Amino acid sequence: MKALRRVPPLLTLFALTSCGIPATGVVEAGGPASGALPLTQVYFVEDGGLVAMQRNTDQPGDPAAALLLLMEGPLAGEGRTGRLATEVPGPPTAVPAPPATSDTAGEPSSDAPAVTVQDDTMTIRLPSAMGALSDLGVRQTVCTAAAAYRLTRPSAYPLTAEVTGGGGWRVRSSDEDCPGW
């Protein structure tokens, strides 16, 4: 410490602040870092209740993408007991769609879930071939979609969800009773 007192203050300041690396601005160097993908929660059934499982996704914050992961079902041996189940059927097998035209470009396929949110209300449209879900299936759907939505838009307020599917069935629910909410 005594040695530092003998060095002129300006030289000390220079020694402490200069490391020989010139200052630069932002350097564009390609896309984002690769490796592990962001995760989203997908809700499955275990012992009669919902449990959240993490899934890799390339579309974090997209409720419709999370619902597609839900429709893929649980992985073999997943969960505390290794016996996760689902009340949400897989995506219906579809006949290949005709090529998109300017009239249909941007419209969601009727074989894929679609989710819209306005204020605190989420509308979930399931594939047209999907029949009515059980109460537990509706909760899986709402919790999965709401968890994905909240990844990029957190809120202290519950979301009200309206779930519709083929045959005109419609159910209202909320994400208030989702595990981890």
Instruction: Give tens-digit pLDDT for 5-50.
Output: 555 554 444 444 555 555 555 555 555 555 556 999 999 999 999 9
The whole-angstrom separation of Cα 56 and Cα 83 is 20
The whole-number pLDDT of residue 113 equals 94
Helix (H), strand (E) at residue 118: strand 114-118
pTM over 0.75: no
Q: What is the per-residue pLDDT for 180?
A: 81
Tokens of 79: 């969960």
Closest CA to 144 of 101, 95, 94, 86: 86
Which has the closest alpha carbon to 123: 57, 63, 71, 60?
63
Q: Distance between CA 132 and CA 37 in Å, rounded?
A: 33
Each residue's pLDDT tens digit, 104-163: 444 445 678 999 999 999 999 999 888 899 999 999 999 999 999 999 998 889 999 999
Helix (H, G, I), strand (E, B) or coil at 45: strand
Q: Give the tens place of pLDDT for each residue, 68-111.
A: 999 999 988 887 887 899 999 987 664 444 343 333 444 445 67
Domain-by-domain residue ranges, the chain? 39-88+109-174
Question: Tokens standing for 116?
Answer: 């819209």
C-alpha 57/C-alpha 54 separation (Å) is 9
**Average pLDDT value for residue range 37-64:** 93
- Binned at pLDDT 50, 70 and 90, residue 166 comes out as confident
Please say whether the beta carbons of 179 and 43 come within 8 A.
yes
By C-alpha distance, which of 69, 71, 73 is closest to 56? Answer: 69
Q: Answer yes or no: are the C-beta atoms of 109 and 94 closer than 8 Å.
A: yes
